[in-house]
Amino acid sequence: MKIKNKILLFTFSVMLFSLVLFFGIGSLVVWLFSGDVDDVGMPTLDQKAFLIEDTITAIDNDSSDWAGIAATLEKDDYRLYVTNGEAVVFSNLDQKARPIIRILKKIPWLETGKSCYVAGVTFVGKEIGGYRITAVKMNNVTDATGHRVNQFETVLNAFLAIGSATIIVILLIGQILSSWMVRRGLRPLRVLTDGAQRIMDGNLSEPVIYDGRDELSRVCEAFNQMQSHLKDEKEREAAYEKSRTDMIAGISHDLRTPLTSVKGYIKGLRDGIVTTPEKREQYLTIAYNKATEMEVLLQNLFYFSKLETGNLPLFLTEEDMGVLVRTFVRQSRDELLQKNVDIRLDIRTEENPIMAETEQIHRLLMNLTNNSLKYADAEDLTLTISVWNEAGKIHLVFADNGKGVPEDKLSSLFVQFWRGDESRSSRIGGGGSGLGLNIVKHIVKMHGGSVRARNENGLVIDILLPIRERTI
């Protein structure tokens, strides 16, 4: 669920819960006070008012036992209030009941006891000889000051009090839910923070685990992809560093061997060890060949360095693989025949269109040829180059009739500086630099193809290149 939807759902849930809780408590309050409200009804006299009328009627105006009369009235929850003119003769009313006293002054009494009901208060009284004698009964709907108690106000006050408490409870619940929501919302951020810390510590193997389905899940996925790219880049850097170290070691080895030979033969010439012209010519020829080997090695290293750093531009043109192979065979045949090597051509389809750089394809074929010359270990070496067009691919197969390569070593043929068993190298050309087939792999990859090696009556190199699409 999206974070926006979570927030909307959370807000709606809190509001709905608040309303349900508020109306629920309101209904409970109304139910609790419903009996009191129903009992208010129409104002009614106290049931003992008529008995009190008789008591008040029997009182004389010259009676001095007002306290005894008041005690008698108190048995029926009445209070006595006696005045003579403006003077208060006797009163056991609360001094706070001034509203009741104001009402008393306005009631016209007769000489006999009569009762009335005013503002929720039952009055029983008479007026005789200047005395106003009144018995007062404050019903349960009046307060201590004589005011009539409004039941609705009571319910409302109670409702407001409980409502205030409810609001406080809602706020507390909202705070709890908000805290929970914040913790849940911050969980992916904490996960990302932990992941970033792991990356800073160098741990690139442990991914960020977040099982949510909101927007932040995509952020976590992107973070994991970034971490995976960093890990791959780190591994590539480590492999490149190893490759660089191996290259330096390989250069040192491959330059040291022919250089030592050159120095040895030149030293022999200088020290006068060689005494015949034939021997001198032999020494010079060997020194020249070793220097040539170093030149070829340096050229391969320079070319390999360009390939590794991506500084070798590729200028593709529309070519035909059959034509390129025929040209290479024609140019190489005489030199190979001098080395007693037979090269054969097998063009199986008439058209073999590709996008390629002629110079790179020539270097590819030359490296394959040199590899067979050095490692085929065959007395009568035969090289066969086959080309055909099939299933949208151009097939280029380079085969020799040598002893092949052990099956467990085939996967290492295209690794830089790998030369297998030096003792198996042919007498033709001596040992190699271990870069030839690695350069072949790079050239094929630059052209969008693939290469593999297999054994079939010798070593066979299978190359697949994408066919050039026809232009209209």
pLDDT in tens, the chain (472 residues): 555 566 656 666 766 777 677 777 767 766 665 554 444 444 566 778 888 888 888 887 666 688 888 888 888 888 888 888 888 888 888 766 777 777 777 788 766 778 787 766 888 888 888 888 888 886 554 454 445 555 556 666 776 777 777 777 777 777 787 777 777 767 777 778 888 888 888 887 888 777 777 667 777 788 788 888 888 888 878 876 776 676 677 667 667 777 888 888 888 888 888 778 888 888 888 888 878 877 777 776 777 677 666 666 778 899 999 999 999 999 999 889 988 999 999 999 999 999 999 988 998 999 899 889 888 888 889 999 999 999 899 999 999 999 888 888 888 888 766 655 544 444 444 445 567 788 899 889 989 999 999 999 999 999 999 998 765 4
Q: 342, 343, 352: which is closest to 387 by C-alpha?
A: 352
- For 430, left (φ over 0), alpha (ψ -120 to 50), or beta? left
**pLDDT score at 418:** 63
Spatial strand order of the sheet with 131-138 comes to: 87-91, 79-84, 131-138, 121-128, 114-118
DSSP 8-class letter at 274 = -
Domains and CATH numbers, the chain: 49-138 (3.30.450), 313-466 (3.30.565.10)
Cα–Cα distances (Å) from 432 to 235, 253, 254, 360, in that order, read 29, 11, 9, 20
**pLDDT score at 145:** 47
**For tokens 């009328």, what's the residue?**
53
**For tokens 């005690």, what's the residue?**
71
Confirm if 450 and 414 have CB atoms less than 8 A apart: no
Distance CA 358, CA 378 (A): 30
Q: 456, 464, 443: which is closest to 365 by C-alpha?
A: 443
Phi, psi of 445 (to 5 degrees): -65, -40
Mention every residue, 6+ apart, whose C-beta is less than 8 A from residue 112: 53, 57, 126
Residue 299 sits at the vertex; the CA angle it makes with 296 and 300, to the nearest 5 degrees, is 85
HEC per residue, 390-455: ECCEEEEEEEECCCCCCHHHHHHCCCCCCCCCHHHCCCCCCCCCCCHHHHHHHHHHHCCCEEEEEE
Cα–Cα distances (Å) from 380 to 93, 288, 372, 399, 405, in that order, read 143, 26, 12, 14, 18
**pLDDT score at 33:** 58
Look up the pTM and report it.
0.46
Mention every residue, 6+ apart, whose C-beta is less than 8 A from residue 451: 414, 440, 441, 444, 461, 462, 463, 464
